[in-house]
Amino acid sequence: MTVDLKAAEYTLSGLRPFPVAVTTIDEGEVNGLISLSAGAASIVPEAPRVTISLTKYNKTHDMVLRSGVFVTHLLAADPEPALQDSLAILMGLGGSSGRDGDKIGRFRTKQGVTGAPILLDALSYVEARVVHTLDMDESTLFVGDVVGAERLGSGGRLRVGEAWKSLPPEWIEQYETNHVPQLASARRYRGLAD
């Protein structure tokens, strides 16, 4: 069986329009990353649930696995100063690993009910305690009960296409370089050739 990989990519990327900033705390240490994998996981309005899929290669993955807490933030597309804040969060959390130094200290934060840092320049967030995990070989899917939520800004939601158009080309190049070992690690976890 051959799969039309271009059609698969078109379909699957269409399911992931919004980059989110995920933060966590583990034994007093804070960290976070950018993800395109966030989802809503319950139809019960009074008991919302959120999902996030984190690659095992990433430090945030191990921290959420241990601590069982995370915050998922939507980023703002406008007004212009809020877009600039969103791009700073995207570049700050998605461009390097917490293994190489603190990434959270540069941002305005407050502590959520779980202790995890809330990014005050995000558009909105849900804070969650993990209730289920699914080992997906290359990554783990975390399902969380929402224990806190807030709308922080009044602009629209930032879509990944818009973000990508506004990011500096040097940053995109650096991101793509960092992505190479992550992809190789995912292939190894899946038992595929590098």
Ligand X SMILES: Cc1cc2nc3c(=O)[nH]c(=O)nc-3n(C[C@H](O)[C@H](O)[C@H](O)COP(=O)(O)O)c2cc1C
Q: Which residues bind ligand X (CB under 6 A)?
A: 19, 31, 33-37, 53-55, 58-60, 94, 96-99, 160, 175, 182
**Closer to ligand X at the Cβ: 18 or 152?**
18
3-state secondary structure of 115: coil
**Cβ 105 to ligand X, closest distance in Å?**
13
**Closer to ligand X at the Cβ: 152 or 160?**
160
Tell me which residue of 69, 74, 72, 188 sits closest to 139, measured CA to CA.
Answer: 188
Which amino acid is present at 123?
Answer: L
Asked whether the beta carbons of 123 and 82 are under 8 A apart, the reply is yes
**Cβ 153 to ligand X, closest distance in Å?**
20
**Cβ 175 to ligand X, closest distance in Å?**
6
**Closer to ligand X at the Cβ: 175 or 189?**
175
Q: Which alpha helices (H) appear in 41-191, and where do they start and end? A: 59-67, 80-94, 160-166, 169-189
**Closer to ligand X at the Cβ: 147 or 186?**
186
**Cβ 1 to ligand X, closest distance in Å?**
27
**β pairing state of 139-151 and 49-55:** antiparallel
